[in-house]
Amino acid sequence: MTKFLLRLTLCTAALAAVTTTVANAADYEPPPPPADFWTGPYIGGFIMGVGVESHYDSECNDPNECAFDPEMSGMTWGGGVLAGFNFELGDGFLLGVEGDWGWAGKIDNDDPIEATEMKIKDIATLRARAGYIFNDDTLFYATGGAAWVRTTFGGEVGDPNNPDRPFIDDTQWTSGWTIGGGIEHAFNEALHARLEYLYIDLNDEEYDLDVGTVNLNFEGIHLVRAGLTYNFGNLF
């Protein structure tokens, strides 16, 4: 009888301890992230839709070889990588710097006479970021800085009635500026997701196609990008 009462007492005590632990766990809330966990470096990647607005003017040795100056505009897709550094100023305000590099596809001109295309080989930007953090985990920001784009412009040259006319192209780097904005959400101290828009304004560029030159007039490049970053703010 004594052993039974002892066992009953021990079981009751253990049950009470477990019940108290579970109740305390149910009332437990994880601690909030550090106030400055946004501060620090980060790396990431993105995918993007690219819209190009441009047209070109041809200057040929023989005017019959480039009789038209069509629009060179359209949509394509791409991706890239990025890296940057954030610094929280306090009261929700944030400043940062970011650089990225990406690539995209090509824009075709469907005109059977001109038969030209533009390939976007590289897109790189170096930008400042400034924004405000809501609820400690969501950043709304504006961004702007310098941009560089490497493009290849080419086409079939010569008599449009010749099915064997050659395809000639030329590749050039073009510089300009960019501005935009976005929203970034922190799932935790490390993993962030973002959605942003960038407008790129480029200088006009000249391409040498042997039979003459093509002056490409960029009217604007539009980037809509979705990305993920890994932030190292917990190290600072």
User: Is residue 11 very low, low, confident or very high in pLDDT (cuts 50, 70, 90)?
Assistant: very low
Q: Specify the pLDDT at position 96.
A: 97
- pTM value is 0.78
In a domain, 15, yes or no: no
In a domain, 22, yes or no: no
Say whether 93 sits in a helix, a strand or coil: strand
Per-residue pLDDT tens over the stretch 76-119: 999 999 999 999 998 999 999 999 999 999 988 766 666 788 99
Q: Specify the pLDDT at position 75.
A: 93
Q: Which phi and psi angles does 131 have, rounded to 5°?
A: -165, -175
User: Is residue 9 very low, low, confident or very high in pLDDT (cuts 50, 70, 90)?
Assistant: very low
For range 123-137, the mean pLDDT = 96
In a domain, 8, yes or no: no
User: Is residue 145 very low, low, confident or very high in pLDDT (cuts 50, 70, 90)?
Assistant: very high
Q: Which residue has the higher pLDDT, 212 or 160?
A: 212
Structure tokens belonging to residue 230: 């890994």
Q: Which of 62-66, 113-117, 182-186 has the lowest mean pLDDT?
A: 62-66
Q: pLDDT at residue 154 above 80?
A: yes
In a domain, 230, yes or no: yes
For range 8-13, the mean pLDDT = 39
Give me the domain span that covers residue 103: 31-235
Q: pLDDT at residue 41 above 90?
A: yes
- Residue 127 is inside which H or E element, if any? strand 116-134
In a domain, 1, yes or no: no
For range 184-213, the mean pLDDT = 92
Specify the amino acid at residue 169. Answer: D
For range 177-201, the mean pLDDT = 97
User: Is residue 215 very low, low, confident or very high in pLDDT (cuts 50, 70, 90)?
Assistant: confident
Q: Which residue has the higher pLDDT, 82 or 155?
A: 82
Q: pLDDT at residue 134 above 60?
A: yes
In a domain, 213, yes or no: yes
For range 181-206, the mean pLDDT = 95
For range 199-214, the mean pLDDT = 88
Q: What is the CATH number of the domain that holds 149?
A: 2.40.160.20
Q: Specify the pLDDT at position 16.
A: 43
Closest CA to 103 of 87, 122, 127: 122
In a domain, 16, yes or no: no
Per-state percent for the chain, helix, strand, coil, to nearest 5: 15, 65, 25
- Residue 9 is inside which H or E element, if any? helix 2-27
Say whether 162 sits in a helix, a strand or coil: coil
In a domain, 3, yes or no: no
Closest CA to 74 of 49, 56, 96: 49
Tally of domains within the chain: 1
Q: Specify the pLDDT at position 12.
A: 40
Specify the amino acid at residue 168. Answer: I
